[in-house]
Amino acid sequence: MANSTAERLSRDEFFYGHKACAGCGGALAVRAALKELGQNAVSVLPAGCMSAVGFNFPQLCFSNNSIISTFAGTASMLTGIEAGLRARGYSDFTAVGFAGDGGTADIGIQALSGAIDRNDNIIYICYDNEAYMNTGIQKSGLTPFGARTTTTPAGANIHGNLRPKKNMFEIAAAHDIPYAATASIGYLPDFIRKVGKAAQIRGTKYIHVIAPCPTGWGIAPDETVEIAKEVVDCGLWYLAEYENGEFTLNHRPKDFSSVEAYLKRQGRFKHLDLSDIKTVIEARDRKWAFIEKNFSYS
């Protein structure tokens, strides 16, 4: 029985024996992307879970060339690697970064913006687990409204995070980047296709992939893939691309599944009341009104 996505991937494993928690969505995103890019990917991992679980000398879990960057410096190190290898006469390689949501939307945003501005020939992948997980679940600019983190606790008066998620996809697109996309590990073939497409485009590519973290989200390890699918099905995330100045929606759920069901199965949202959930649904509906108006549907 053929699986067309499995067929296109390398049978090699490039991220193996790592110490990520069981069921880690970020680990699946890194593994799948490297299997698409193959042996000649040179990967950059800033401070964050994926570097912490991948490089524990002498347990080194990447089989392609990989390096840890400073927390803020994913994109600048990608720039340097791409320029350095090119200067030495190499052309058959892909410089790819895997940075967390904190490393992307907060501390690394300046370096990323600079790389896009120079149009350096790199792929930047943000694996979004919606908090600073490696240091113990602090709020980042990509933590959604209502989520309980250690810096946005849920009490009687304040119900977790008060701010909505930054829109990194559209921030990247606003640079008029050659290619940007959103994805989810719950729709893995779509993510893999986007990584493959990015590798064929010259200039800067940005892919934002939702990658649930069982530890930080308060879900069971076997639920990460399922919940990454559900966040798309209930409309709180969407699968889209930006190319040649146009936004395209890749997937339109027929009817949204229940936002409340999505939220309530996660420990980080357990405290939300009906009015909080209403706020989340209203924000979703505003977002989709914007999408329907500005994105074409493929």
Partner 1 sequence: MKPYIREKKTFTAAEIPEATAFEAGYLVSVNSGWRSIRPVIDTGRCVGCEQCYLYCPDGVISVQNGKAVIDYDFCKGCGICAKIFRLGAIRTEAEHK
**Binding-site ranges for partner 1 (CB under 8 A):** 1, 3, 5-6, 11-25, 27-28, 31-32, 35, 39, 55, 57-68, 188, 220-226
Geometric angle at alpha carbon 191, from 220 and 148, rounded to 5°: 40
Q: Does 21 bind ligand SF4 (CB under 6 A)?
A: yes
Whichever of 219 and 249 has its CB closer to ligand TPP, that residue is 219
Q: Does 212 bind ligand TPP (CB under 6 A)?
A: no
Of 2-10, 20-28, 186-194, 282-290, which segment contacts ligand SF4 by CB under 6 A?
20-28
- State the greatest distance between any 2 C-alpha atoms of the chain, in Å, as a whole number: 61
Whichever of 67 and 85 has its CB closer to partner 1, that residue is 67
- Give phi and psi for 178, each to the nearest 5: -60, -40
Distance, in Å, from the CA atom of 135 to the CA atom of 129, rounded to the nearest integer, reads: 13
Alpha-carbon distances of 196 from 40, 41, 205, 298, rounded to whole Å:
13, 12, 11, 18
**Residue found under tokens 């649930």:** 212
The dihedral sign for the CA sequence 288, 148, 108, 13: negative
What does the per-residue mask of binding to ligand TPP show for 115-154, with x meaning CB under 6 A? --------------x--xxxx----x--------------
Q: Which residues pair with 296 in a beta bridge?
A: 248
What does the per-residue mask of binding to ligand SF4 show for 194-233, with x meaning CB under 6 A? -------------------xxxx-----------------
Do the Cβ atoms of 107 and 71 come closer than 8 Å?
yes
Of 73-81, 97-105, 186-194, 290-298, which segment contacts ligand TPP by CB under 6 A?
97-105
Q: Does 112 bind Mg ion (CB under 5 A)?
A: no
**Residue found under tokens 């401070």:** 47
Chain positions contacting ligand TPP, by CB under 6 A:
26, 47-50, 71, 100-103, 129, 132-135, 140
